[in-house]
Chains A and B, each alone.
Chain A
Amino acid sequence: MSPDPNISDRMQAKKEVRRIKNLPTVPGIVAKISRMVENPDTSVADVGRLISQDQVLSAKVLRMANSAFFGMSRKISSISQALIILGFEVVKGLVLTSSVFDMIQKSMAGLWEHSIGCAAASGVIAAHLGRDDAEEVLVAGLLHDLGKVVLALNLPEEMKLVQDKVAEEDLYFYEAENKVLDFDHAEIGQWLAEHWNLPESLAEPMRFHHKPEKAVLKPEWTAIVHIADILVRAKGFGNGGDDMVPDISMAAWDILGLRKVDFLPILEKLEPKLSSLNDLTALN
Protein backbone atom coordinates (compact mmCIF):
# COMPACT_ATOMS: atom_id res chain seq x y z
CA MET A 1 0.00 0.00 0.00
CA SER A 2 1.35 3.43 -0.87
CA PRO A 3 2.01 5.59 2.17
CA ASP A 4 -0.29 8.56 2.10
CA PRO A 5 1.49 11.77 3.13
CA ASN A 6 -1.81 13.38 3.90
CA ILE A 7 -2.98 11.46 6.91
CA SER A 8 -5.57 14.02 7.95
CA ASP A 9 -7.28 13.73 4.57
CA ARG A 10 -7.42 10.02 5.06
CA MET A 11 -8.90 10.39 8.52
CA GLN A 12 -11.37 12.87 7.14
CA ALA A 13 -12.49 10.50 4.42
CA LYS A 14 -12.70 7.67 6.88
CA LYS A 15 -14.81 9.74 9.20
CA GLU A 16 -17.03 10.60 6.31
CA VAL A 17 -17.77 6.97 5.60
CA ARG A 18 -18.05 6.14 9.24
CA ARG A 19 -20.54 8.88 9.87
CA ILE A 20 -23.63 6.88 10.66
CA LYS A 21 -25.74 9.00 8.38
CA ASN A 22 -23.49 8.16 5.52
CA LEU A 23 -23.58 4.44 5.96
CA PRO A 24 -26.85 3.03 4.75
CA THR A 25 -29.07 1.84 7.57
CA VAL A 26 -29.53 -1.85 7.92
CA PRO A 27 -32.60 -2.99 6.01
CA GLY A 28 -35.54 -3.07 8.42
CA ILE A 29 -36.41 -6.67 7.81
CA VAL A 30 -32.83 -7.79 8.49
CA ALA A 31 -32.79 -5.86 11.78
CA LYS A 32 -36.13 -7.44 12.72
CA ILE A 33 -34.87 -10.93 11.97
CA SER A 34 -31.76 -10.32 14.08
CA ARG A 35 -33.90 -9.11 16.99
CA MET A 36 -36.23 -12.06 16.65
CA VAL A 37 -33.39 -14.55 16.68
CA GLU A 38 -32.11 -13.11 19.95
CA ASN A 39 -35.31 -14.29 21.55
CA PRO A 40 -34.92 -17.98 22.46
CA ASP A 41 -38.65 -18.53 22.00
CA THR A 42 -38.49 -17.64 18.31
CA SER A 43 -38.96 -20.56 15.95
CA VAL A 44 -37.88 -20.85 12.35
CA ALA A 45 -41.55 -20.75 11.42
CA ASP A 46 -41.87 -17.34 13.11
CA VAL A 47 -39.03 -16.00 10.99
CA GLY A 48 -40.65 -17.52 7.91
CA ARG A 49 -43.91 -15.76 8.68
CA LEU A 50 -42.15 -12.44 9.15
CA ILE A 51 -40.38 -12.69 5.78
CA SER A 52 -43.53 -13.87 4.01
CA GLN A 53 -45.38 -10.75 5.12
CA ASP A 54 -43.34 -8.77 2.62
CA GLN A 55 -44.54 -10.24 -0.64
CA VAL A 56 -42.23 -8.32 -2.94
CA LEU A 57 -39.21 -9.30 -0.90
CA SER A 58 -40.35 -12.91 -0.60
CA ALA A 59 -40.80 -13.14 -4.34
CA LYS A 60 -37.22 -11.99 -4.87
CA VAL A 61 -35.91 -14.43 -2.30
CA LEU A 62 -37.80 -17.29 -3.96
CA ARG A 63 -36.51 -16.35 -7.39
CA MET A 64 -32.97 -16.60 -6.09
CA ALA A 65 -33.76 -19.82 -4.22
CA ASN A 66 -35.06 -21.32 -7.47
CA SER A 67 -32.29 -19.96 -9.69
CA ALA A 68 -29.36 -21.86 -11.13
CA PHE A 69 -27.50 -20.93 -7.93
CA PHE A 70 -28.82 -23.88 -6.04
CA GLY A 71 -29.86 -26.12 -8.92
CA MET A 72 -32.93 -27.39 -7.09
CA SER A 73 -34.70 -30.20 -8.87
CA ARG A 74 -37.98 -29.28 -7.21
CA LYS A 75 -39.43 -25.84 -7.01
CA ILE A 76 -39.22 -24.05 -3.68
CA SER A 77 -42.59 -22.37 -3.46
CA SER A 78 -42.62 -20.77 -0.03
CA ILE A 79 -40.29 -19.09 2.42
CA SER A 80 -40.92 -21.79 4.98
CA GLN A 81 -39.90 -24.41 2.43
CA ALA A 82 -36.79 -22.37 1.63
CA LEU A 83 -35.94 -22.26 5.31
CA ILE A 84 -36.17 -26.02 5.55
CA ILE A 85 -34.29 -26.80 2.35
CA LEU A 86 -31.65 -24.06 2.26
CA GLY A 87 -31.38 -23.34 5.95
CA PHE A 88 -31.80 -20.24 8.04
CA GLU A 89 -28.44 -18.59 7.29
CA VAL A 90 -28.86 -18.90 3.53
CA VAL A 91 -32.39 -17.51 3.56
CA LYS A 92 -31.26 -14.65 5.78
CA GLY A 93 -28.49 -13.93 3.28
CA LEU A 94 -30.97 -13.96 0.41
CA VAL A 95 -33.27 -11.62 2.35
CA LEU A 96 -30.35 -9.27 2.89
CA THR A 97 -29.40 -9.47 -0.79
CA SER A 98 -32.98 -8.85 -1.91
CA SER A 99 -33.28 -5.84 0.32
CA VAL A 100 -30.09 -4.26 -1.04
CA PHE A 101 -30.75 -5.33 -4.62
CA ASP A 102 -31.94 -1.88 -5.71
CA MET A 103 -28.86 -0.32 -4.16
CA ILE A 104 -26.54 -2.71 -5.96
CA GLN A 105 -28.27 -2.10 -9.29
CA LYS A 106 -28.11 1.66 -8.87
CA SER A 107 -24.48 1.72 -7.80
CA MET A 108 -22.50 0.56 -10.80
CA ALA A 109 -23.42 -0.97 -14.14
CA GLY A 110 -22.56 -4.65 -14.12
CA LEU A 111 -21.93 -4.96 -10.38
CA TRP A 112 -25.06 -7.04 -9.81
CA GLU A 113 -23.95 -9.43 -12.55
CA HIS A 114 -20.46 -9.52 -11.04
CA SER A 115 -22.05 -10.35 -7.68
CA ILE A 116 -24.32 -13.15 -8.87
CA GLY A 117 -21.48 -14.50 -11.01
CA CYS A 118 -19.16 -14.55 -8.02
CA ALA A 119 -21.90 -16.20 -5.96
CA ALA A 120 -22.38 -18.94 -8.54
CA ALA A 121 -18.62 -19.47 -8.80
CA SER A 122 -18.28 -19.63 -5.00
CA GLY A 123 -21.00 -22.27 -4.88
CA VAL A 124 -19.42 -24.30 -7.68
CA ILE A 125 -15.96 -24.22 -6.09
CA ALA A 126 -17.34 -25.19 -2.68
CA ALA A 127 -19.33 -28.05 -4.20
CA HIS A 128 -16.31 -29.18 -6.22
CA LEU A 129 -14.36 -29.35 -2.97
CA GLY A 130 -17.12 -31.52 -1.54
CA ARG A 131 -18.09 -29.01 1.12
CA ASP A 132 -21.50 -29.26 2.70
CA ASP A 133 -21.72 -25.49 3.25
CA ALA A 134 -21.67 -24.58 -0.46
CA GLU A 135 -24.98 -22.66 -0.24
CA GLU A 136 -23.72 -20.48 2.58
CA VAL A 137 -20.40 -19.78 0.87
CA LEU A 138 -22.41 -18.76 -2.16
CA VAL A 139 -24.17 -16.07 -0.15
CA ALA A 140 -20.80 -14.73 1.00
CA GLY A 141 -19.83 -14.45 -2.68
CA LEU A 142 -23.07 -12.66 -3.42
CA LEU A 143 -22.31 -9.87 -0.95
CA HIS A 144 -18.50 -9.68 -1.18
CA ASP A 145 -18.36 -6.32 -3.00
CA LEU A 146 -21.04 -4.53 -0.99
CA GLY A 147 -18.38 -1.95 -0.08
CA LYS A 148 -18.40 -0.78 -3.70
CA VAL A 149 -22.13 -0.12 -3.43
CA VAL A 150 -21.60 2.12 -0.41
CA LEU A 151 -18.76 3.91 -2.16
CA ALA A 152 -20.86 4.55 -5.27
CA LEU A 153 -23.99 5.67 -3.46
CA ASN A 154 -22.55 7.52 -0.48
CA LEU A 155 -19.33 8.97 -1.88
CA PRO A 156 -20.25 9.52 -5.54
CA GLU A 157 -17.54 12.12 -6.17
CA GLU A 158 -14.83 9.88 -4.81
CA MET A 159 -16.27 7.03 -6.85
CA LYS A 160 -15.87 9.11 -9.98
CA LEU A 161 -12.23 9.88 -9.08
CA VAL A 162 -11.58 6.18 -8.51
CA GLN A 163 -13.11 5.24 -11.86
CA ASP A 164 -11.06 7.91 -13.62
CA LYS A 165 -7.91 6.62 -12.00
CA VAL A 166 -8.68 3.06 -13.07
CA ALA A 167 -8.96 4.27 -16.67
CA GLU A 168 -6.00 6.68 -16.63
CA GLU A 169 -3.47 4.50 -14.87
CA ASP A 170 -4.76 1.06 -15.84
CA LEU A 171 -5.18 0.02 -12.22
CA TYR A 172 -7.24 -2.53 -10.39
CA PHE A 173 -10.28 -0.92 -8.81
CA TYR A 174 -8.98 -1.51 -5.27
CA GLU A 175 -5.60 -0.01 -6.17
CA ALA A 176 -7.30 3.13 -7.44
CA GLU A 177 -9.44 3.25 -4.29
CA ASN A 178 -6.34 3.06 -2.12
CA LYS A 179 -4.69 5.85 -4.12
CA VAL A 180 -7.69 8.13 -3.98
CA LEU A 181 -9.07 7.31 -0.52
CA ASP A 182 -6.35 5.29 1.17
CA PHE A 183 -8.91 2.64 1.93
CA ASP A 184 -10.86 0.34 -0.34
CA HIS A 185 -14.26 -1.28 -0.73
CA ALA A 186 -13.08 -4.23 1.34
CA GLU A 187 -12.61 -1.95 4.34
CA ILE A 188 -15.88 -0.18 3.66
CA GLY A 189 -17.47 -3.62 3.58
CA GLN A 190 -16.01 -4.29 7.00
CA TRP A 191 -17.43 -1.05 8.42
CA LEU A 192 -20.79 -1.85 6.92
CA ALA A 193 -20.70 -5.36 8.31
CA GLU A 194 -19.99 -3.96 11.79
CA HIS A 195 -22.67 -1.32 11.44
CA TRP A 196 -25.20 -3.88 10.27
CA ASN A 197 -24.09 -6.57 12.68
CA LEU A 198 -23.52 -9.09 9.94
CA PRO A 199 -22.13 -12.51 10.87
CA GLU A 200 -18.39 -13.11 10.46
CA SER A 201 -19.16 -15.62 7.72
CA LEU A 202 -20.23 -12.67 5.54
CA ALA A 203 -18.01 -10.00 7.08
CA GLU A 204 -14.68 -11.73 6.62
CA PRO A 205 -15.02 -12.53 2.91
CA MET A 206 -16.18 -8.93 2.43
CA ARG A 207 -13.17 -7.59 4.25
CA PHE A 208 -10.45 -9.92 3.03
CA HIS A 209 -11.42 -11.21 -0.40
CA HIS A 210 -8.45 -9.32 -1.87
CA LYS A 211 -6.12 -10.42 0.97
CA PRO A 212 -7.53 -13.83 1.85
CA GLU A 213 -4.40 -14.85 3.76
CA LYS A 214 -5.48 -12.42 6.49
CA ALA A 215 -8.75 -14.17 7.25
CA VAL A 216 -8.76 -15.99 10.58
CA LEU A 217 -12.35 -16.94 11.35
CA LYS A 218 -13.50 -18.04 7.90
CA PRO A 219 -10.25 -18.53 5.97
CA GLU A 220 -11.69 -21.13 3.60
CA TRP A 221 -14.81 -19.14 2.76
CA THR A 222 -12.68 -16.08 2.14
CA ALA A 223 -10.33 -18.12 -0.03
CA ILE A 224 -13.24 -19.51 -2.06
CA VAL A 225 -14.70 -16.03 -2.65
CA HIS A 226 -11.21 -14.82 -3.63
CA ILE A 227 -10.88 -17.54 -6.27
CA ALA A 228 -14.49 -17.07 -7.38
CA ASP A 229 -13.86 -13.35 -7.94
CA ILE A 230 -10.91 -14.31 -10.17
CA LEU A 231 -13.08 -16.77 -12.14
CA VAL A 232 -15.92 -14.34 -12.93
CA ARG A 233 -13.45 -11.70 -14.00
CA ALA A 234 -11.59 -14.21 -16.13
CA LYS A 235 -14.93 -15.19 -17.69
CA GLY A 236 -15.69 -11.51 -18.36
CA PHE A 237 -19.05 -11.85 -16.63
CA GLY A 238 -20.39 -8.57 -15.23
CA ASN A 239 -18.25 -5.64 -14.15
CA GLY A 240 -16.22 -5.43 -10.96
CA GLY A 241 -14.83 -1.98 -11.71
CA ASP A 242 -11.91 -2.89 -13.98
CA ASP A 243 -11.43 -5.45 -16.72
CA MET A 244 -8.47 -7.36 -15.28
CA VAL A 245 -8.04 -10.68 -13.53
CA PRO A 246 -6.73 -9.94 -10.03
CA ASP A 247 -3.56 -11.59 -8.81
CA ILE A 248 -4.12 -14.83 -6.97
CA SER A 249 -3.21 -15.45 -3.35
CA MET A 250 -1.31 -18.73 -3.31
CA ALA A 251 -2.13 -19.02 0.39
CA ALA A 252 -5.82 -19.14 -0.56
CA TRP A 253 -5.12 -21.61 -3.35
CA ASP A 254 -3.17 -23.89 -1.04
CA ILE A 255 -5.55 -23.76 1.89
CA LEU A 256 -8.26 -25.11 -0.41
CA GLY A 257 -5.96 -27.78 -1.80
CA LEU A 258 -6.86 -26.81 -5.36
CA ARG A 259 -4.81 -27.94 -8.35
CA LYS A 260 -4.58 -26.55 -11.87
CA VAL A 261 -6.55 -29.50 -13.24
CA ASP A 262 -9.50 -28.44 -11.10
CA PHE A 263 -10.15 -25.43 -13.34
CA LEU A 264 -11.67 -27.49 -16.14
CA PRO A 265 -14.41 -29.26 -14.15
CA ILE A 266 -15.13 -26.08 -12.17
CA LEU A 267 -15.50 -23.96 -15.31
CA GLU A 268 -17.60 -26.61 -17.01
CA LYS A 269 -20.01 -26.57 -14.08
CA LEU A 270 -19.96 -22.79 -13.88
CA GLU A 271 -20.70 -22.06 -17.54
CA PRO A 272 -24.32 -23.30 -17.67
CA LYS A 273 -25.05 -21.59 -14.37
CA LEU A 274 -23.78 -18.25 -15.63
CA SER A 275 -25.78 -18.47 -18.83
CA SER A 276 -29.00 -19.22 -17.00
CA LEU A 277 -28.49 -16.51 -14.39
CA ASN A 278 -29.85 -13.85 -16.73
CA ASP A 279 -33.28 -14.45 -15.27
CA LEU A 280 -31.83 -12.93 -12.11
CA THR A 281 -30.43 -9.85 -13.79
CA ALA A 282 -33.77 -8.07 -13.44
CA LEU A 283 -34.93 -9.26 -10.07
CA ASN A 284 -37.88 -6.89 -9.96
Chain B
Amino acid sequence: MKRIPVDQAKPGQILAESIARHDGVLLANQGSEVSEGLLRMLVRLNVDTIVIEEEEGRTEEEIRASHGENLSRLDRAFRRVGGQPVLMALKKTLAFLSKEEMEKGIFALRESQEKGADEAQAANGTQPEEGQGEAVSPPPKAGAKASKRQGKDQAKDQVKD
Protein backbone atom coordinates (compact mmCIF):
# COMPACT_ATOMS: atom_id res chain seq x y z
CA MET B 1 0.00 0.00 0.00
CA LYS B 2 1.02 3.59 -0.39
CA ARG B 3 -0.09 6.98 0.92
CA ILE B 4 -0.98 9.44 -1.79
CA PRO B 5 -2.33 13.01 -1.83
CA VAL B 6 -6.08 13.13 -2.40
CA ASP B 7 -5.60 15.17 -5.57
CA GLN B 8 -3.60 12.32 -7.07
CA ALA B 9 -6.18 9.66 -6.21
CA LYS B 10 -8.27 8.22 -9.01
CA PRO B 11 -11.70 6.59 -9.03
CA GLY B 12 -11.36 2.82 -9.04
CA GLN B 13 -8.38 2.63 -6.68
CA ILE B 14 -8.85 0.43 -3.63
CA LEU B 15 -8.56 1.89 -0.14
CA ALA B 16 -5.92 0.10 1.92
CA GLU B 17 -7.02 1.95 5.07
CA SER B 18 -10.40 3.23 6.16
CA ILE B 19 -10.87 6.99 6.06
CA ALA B 20 -12.28 8.77 9.08
CA ARG B 21 -13.25 12.36 9.52
CA HIS B 22 -11.27 14.40 12.05
CA ASP B 23 -13.96 13.77 14.67
CA GLY B 24 -13.73 10.03 14.05
CA VAL B 25 -16.80 9.55 11.87
CA LEU B 26 -16.07 6.86 9.30
CA LEU B 27 -16.21 8.13 5.71
CA ALA B 28 -15.12 5.07 3.74
CA ASN B 29 -14.17 1.53 4.56
CA GLN B 30 -10.90 -0.21 3.92
CA GLY B 31 -11.19 -2.34 0.79
CA SER B 32 -13.78 -0.12 -0.85
CA GLU B 33 -13.28 1.55 -4.18
CA VAL B 34 -12.45 5.24 -4.49
CA SER B 35 -15.29 7.04 -6.26
CA GLU B 36 -15.52 10.53 -7.69
CA GLY B 37 -18.10 11.34 -5.03
CA LEU B 38 -15.74 10.25 -2.25
CA LEU B 39 -12.91 12.33 -3.68
CA ARG B 40 -15.12 15.41 -3.80
CA MET B 41 -16.14 14.80 -0.21
CA LEU B 42 -12.51 14.41 0.91
CA VAL B 43 -11.55 17.67 -0.74
CA ARG B 44 -14.45 19.38 0.98
CA LEU B 45 -13.48 17.96 4.36
CA ASN B 46 -9.83 18.92 3.86
CA VAL B 47 -8.55 15.36 4.04
CA ASP B 48 -5.06 15.57 2.53
CA THR B 49 -3.94 12.02 1.92
CA ILE B 50 -5.38 8.54 1.65
CA VAL B 51 -3.79 5.11 1.65
CA ILE B 52 -4.48 2.96 -1.38
CA GLU B 53 -3.49 -0.51 -2.48
CA GLU B 54 -0.50 -0.55 -4.80
CA GLU B 55 -0.99 -1.51 -8.45
CA GLU B 56 -3.70 -4.11 -8.84
CA GLY B 57 -0.84 -6.48 -9.46
CA ARG B 58 -2.03 -7.58 -12.85
CA THR B 59 0.59 -9.15 -15.03
CA GLU B 60 1.02 -8.25 -18.67
CA GLU B 61 -0.58 -11.55 -19.64
CA GLU B 62 -3.62 -10.73 -17.51
CA ILE B 63 -3.96 -7.30 -19.07
CA ARG B 64 -3.81 -8.86 -22.54
CA ALA B 65 -6.28 -11.55 -21.53
CA SER B 66 -8.81 -9.02 -20.31
CA HIS B 67 -8.60 -7.22 -23.65
CA GLY B 68 -9.24 -10.59 -25.29
CA GLU B 69 -12.26 -11.10 -23.07
CA ASN B 70 -13.56 -7.67 -24.05
CA LEU B 71 -13.30 -8.59 -27.71
CA SER B 72 -15.19 -11.87 -27.24
CA ARG B 73 -17.85 -10.10 -25.23
CA LEU B 74 -18.25 -7.61 -28.08
CA ASP B 75 -18.63 -10.47 -30.56
CA ARG B 76 -21.35 -11.96 -28.39
CA ALA B 77 -23.14 -8.65 -27.78
CA PHE B 78 -23.21 -7.76 -31.48
CA ARG B 79 -24.12 -11.23 -32.76
CA ARG B 80 -27.58 -10.24 -34.01
CA VAL B 81 -26.59 -6.98 -35.69
CA GLY B 82 -23.52 -7.99 -37.70
CA GLY B 83 -24.78 -6.43 -40.92
CA GLN B 84 -25.60 -3.01 -39.49
CA PRO B 85 -22.89 -0.53 -40.58
CA VAL B 86 -23.50 2.02 -37.80
CA LEU B 87 -23.45 -0.65 -35.11
CA MET B 88 -20.32 -2.18 -36.63
CA ALA B 89 -18.70 1.24 -36.31
CA LEU B 90 -19.73 1.25 -32.64
CA LYS B 91 -18.23 -2.20 -32.15
CA LYS B 92 -14.99 -1.13 -33.82
CA THR B 93 -14.79 1.96 -31.62
CA LEU B 94 -15.26 -0.12 -28.47
CA ALA B 95 -12.61 -2.59 -29.62
CA PHE B 96 -10.25 0.32 -30.27
CA LEU B 97 -10.86 1.76 -26.79
CA SER B 98 -10.26 -1.62 -25.18
CA LYS B 99 -6.99 -1.98 -27.06
CA GLU B 100 -5.96 1.51 -26.04
CA GLU B 101 -6.68 0.68 -22.41
CA MET B 102 -4.61 -2.47 -22.69
CA GLU B 103 -1.68 -0.54 -24.12
CA LYS B 104 -1.90 2.06 -21.38
CA GLY B 105 -2.04 -0.71 -18.77
CA ILE B 106 1.01 -2.46 -20.15
CA PHE B 107 2.91 0.80 -20.43
CA ALA B 108 2.11 1.71 -16.80
CA LEU B 109 3.11 -1.77 -15.67
CA ARG B 110 6.48 -1.58 -17.43
CA GLU B 111 7.05 1.87 -16.02
CA SER B 112 6.35 0.71 -12.47
CA GLN B 113 8.61 -2.30 -12.97
CA GLU B 114 11.37 0.01 -14.08
CA LYS B 115 10.81 2.24 -11.08
CA GLY B 116 10.96 -0.83 -8.85
CA ALA B 117 14.26 -1.79 -10.43
CA ASP B 118 15.63 1.72 -9.84
CA GLU B 119 14.60 1.65 -6.20
CA ALA B 120 16.17 -1.75 -5.67
CA GLN B 121 19.34 -0.38 -7.17
CA ALA B 122 19.28 2.66 -4.90
CA ALA B 123 18.82 0.37 -1.92
CA ASN B 124 21.91 -1.54 -3.04
CA GLY B 125 23.92 1.64 -2.67
CA THR B 126 24.51 2.32 -6.36
CA GLN B 127 24.04 5.92 -7.46
CA PRO B 128 21.10 5.99 -9.87
CA GLU B 129 22.46 8.77 -12.05
CA GLU B 130 20.53 9.32 -15.22
CA GLY B 131 22.44 9.55 -18.47
CA GLN B 132 26.07 9.48 -17.43
CA GLY B 133 25.63 6.40 -15.27
CA GLU B 134 24.44 4.43 -18.27
CA ALA B 135 27.78 2.68 -18.84
CA VAL B 136 28.03 1.35 -15.29
CA SER B 137 24.38 0.44 -14.98
CA PRO B 138 23.74 -3.24 -14.45
CA PRO B 139 21.93 -4.97 -17.33
CA PRO B 140 18.45 -5.22 -15.72
CA LYS B 141 17.96 -1.46 -15.75
CA ALA B 142 19.09 -1.06 -19.32
CA GLY B 143 16.80 -3.94 -20.28
CA ALA B 144 13.82 -2.38 -18.54
CA LYS B 145 14.47 0.95 -20.24
CA ALA B 146 14.67 -0.62 -23.64
CA SER B 147 11.44 -2.51 -23.18
CA LYS B 148 9.70 0.62 -21.94
CA ARG B 149 10.79 2.55 -25.00
CA GLN B 150 9.67 -0.27 -27.20
CA GLY B 151 6.29 -0.32 -25.49
CA LYS B 152 5.82 3.38 -26.07
CA ASP B 153 6.68 3.16 -29.75
CA GLN B 154 4.47 0.16 -30.21
CA ALA B 155 1.54 1.90 -28.58
CA LYS B 156 1.99 4.89 -30.87
CA ASP B 157 2.14 2.75 -33.98
CA GLN B 158 -0.91 0.79 -32.99
CA VAL B 159 -3.02 3.85 -32.34
CA LYS B 160 -2.08 5.22 -35.75
CA ASP B 161 -3.44 2.32 -37.78
Binding site for B on A (CB under 8 A): 63, 66-68, 75, 172, 230-231, 233-236, 243-248, 250, 253, 260, 263-264, 267-268, 271-272, 275-276, 278-279
Contact = CB atoms under 8 A, between A and B. Distances in A.
A124 B7 CA distance: 25
B36 A247 contact: no
B86 A75 contact: no
Q: Which of B36, B79, B85, B94 has the most CB of A within 10 A?
A: B36
Contact of A235 (B37, B38, B85, B94): B94
B79 A267 contact: no
Given A263-B93, A272-B11, A279-B38, A245 B80 contact: yes
Contacts of A279: 35-38
Given A234-B77, A253-B86, A264-B97, 12 more contacts: A244-B77, A244-B78, A244-B79, A244-B80, A244-B81, A245-B78, A247-B84, A248-B86, A260-B90, A267-B93, A278-B33, A279-B35
B81 A245 contact: yes
Nearest to A66: B37
B22 interface: no
A223 B81 CA distance: 18
A230 B79 CA distance: 13
Contacts, number: 77
B12 A230 contact: no
Contacts of A264: 93, 96-97
A233 B77 contact: yes
B160 interface: no
Contacts of A67: 37
Contacts of B97: 264, 267-268, 271
A255 to B, nearest CB: 14
Given A275-B12, A276-B35, A278-B33, A248 B76 contact: no
Contacts of B11: 272, 275-276
A67 B78 CA distance: 30
A260 B91 contact: no
Given A66-B37, A272-B11, A234 B80 contact: no
Contacts of A268: 97
A268 B91 CA distance: 14
11 contacts: A172-B80, A230-B87, A234-B94, A244-B79, A244-B81, A247-B84, A248-B81, A260-B85, A268-B97, A279-B36, A279-B38
A234 B84 contact: no
A247 B94 contact: no
Given A75-B44, A268-B97, A243 B86 contact: no
B77 A243 contact: yes
B40 interface: yes
A236 B37 contact: no
A248 B87 contact: yes
B81 A247 contact: yes
A238 B31 CA distance: 22
A275 B12 CA distance: 7
B135 interface: no
B33 A236 contact: no
Contacts of A250: 86
B2 interface: no
